Structure formats: C-alpha cells, structure tokens
Structure 1
C-alpha cells in the first residue's frame, strides 16, 4: 500500500462486476486487439487488462515476468495494436522514451492512465495524436477505478483532473474545513 505496509482489501463482487461491465463496453469495445498485461497481478491496475478482453472474446497479451523493462516498448509495439492499454504515468513516460510519442499513441485507440497522478505536460505530448487519453482514478478499496476524465483540449501545467464517476458509482466531495 501507499503507506509502505501491505494491506488486504475486501472488494464486493457487485462492485467488481460493475467495473468490468464498464471496462468491456468502454475499453475492450474499442477494438479487437485485447489488452497487454505487463504489471504484477498483485496490482489492481491490471484487473481490466486481464479480464475485460477475455470477457468479450479478445486476447490478454502477457508480457513475460522475466523480460527486461528496457524491452517493454518494442515488445508492446510488436504485439499490438490493442483495443486499449492501461498503464501508469510512469509507464507512459517510459514508453515515450523507448519508442516515441507517435508509436506509443499507435499502441491502441485508447490509453487509460491510472495508478498515480497524471501530469498535464505528459498528457500534452499526445495532443493532436490519433489516440484517446483517459485519466482514471480510484482507490483499491473502491474497486480499481471509480472516475474517469477523457483528456480533450488544452492541458495545463498541473495535474489532469480525476473526472466524473463511472456508471453506478457515486462520488462525494468532502470539505474537511
């Protein structure tokens, strides 16, 4: 966990089913190429990459656990295109360094960025490219992702907003003051 201490999280079947229903329709439904899985299955980020393609008859492409991270960009480019790629901003930066913005944008029609704050300057690199960038936010306790923000138009120097709740999800803004 973010505290540095491992934690266990109980997630309801209904919440997980809701998230996967959304992921099949909005992510895997973007194409026929499935999704790559290149992070640990212990990381909730991979849930839609693993299950959404399988739920609609597509492939889940598994990157070998023994592979060197320096090969990630070329491996994804050779295996794609995918229906979507879900990755952290750190992964996105790595791919841009390894294969460039255009080839990264060509991996899938949709790049779902999650797992940590998404900086506006990184998102701005993809402006005018034929790819939809979507920022996803959600604590593990609320089942993988709870809100999304499609990145359209100019992006500022700050962080990309976390967006609006997914279908069947309610978000509350609480003022601690």
Structure 2
C-alpha cells in the first residue's frame, strides 16, 4: 500500500528519512523536468533540483499544509530557478518532449509538427520570463490560475493577465500557433 504525501511528510517530521526519500523519488523527475522547461539546461537543472529537495527537507517543518507538498515543491523550484537564472542569465526552453505524435501521422504532418515546435521554442525562448513561467505552469503542468498564484507568489489577477498577454505575444510572433 502506497503512503499518501501527508503520511510521508508526517513520518519525515518524526525523523523517518526513508519517508522523505520516498517523497523525493515521487517528485524528483517532475521537479527536474519543470526546471528544465522554464529555462535551465539539463545539467544545471540537476543541481537546482537537488537544491530544491535540500531546501524542502530543511524547511519541511514550515509547510503549513502537508497534503499540498507538490505545489510547495514547485514554489521552491520556481524560486531556486529564479536565483540560478539571476546568476547565470541563461535561458533555454525544451518542449520537444511534450509533442504528442499519433501513430497514424503522415511524414508530412510530422515534419509540419516539428517545424511548429521549432517555432514555438523560438518564441518561448524569446518571451520574457514572467510570461514564460506562467505559460509553462499552466499549459505543460496543467496548473490552475490559483495554483500558479500560490507557486509564484503572484496575485491571481496578475497570473491571468500574464497568461493572456503571453498568449497574445505568441500569437503575434507566430501566427500559425494557437494555444
């Protein structure tokens, strides 16, 4: 029987480090991929991810709602990424892994899809971070506006506005793309 996040957090707080290892195993890949998608290169994302889980472990007793550890980890990841980016000023978004190729796709359709992905990647790479961050959280991680507000520490109206403006920028820069 698999333990819930709440149980794992409580066990960790009572000194069971194996319970925390389970939380890390459960969320490490998701957090790593999120950090890569918002702009960190894969090698650096490993270090940022490690920093996320170290920070989470050291601050676990401050978590107000242990059942919300997933969004809390994303909040930490967002902040860790921002710190990393300030130091490195390097931005790159990898979205190729999110392409859904169907079995019955023709070679021409696959080529067009790949070209659209290149165009999307180019547009995303050139978007301001404030738009890129909320768009990725919403469209690639399926977070609601409320969840994005919690993760980023922004007001929900600001999240709505940034998603709207980000979509507008993408549409203006790449007419073929519709989110």
Structure (1 or 2) with the greater helix fraction: 2
Which structure's CA Rg is the greater one? 2
Q: TM-score, normalised on structure 1?
A: 0.27
Higher strand share: 1
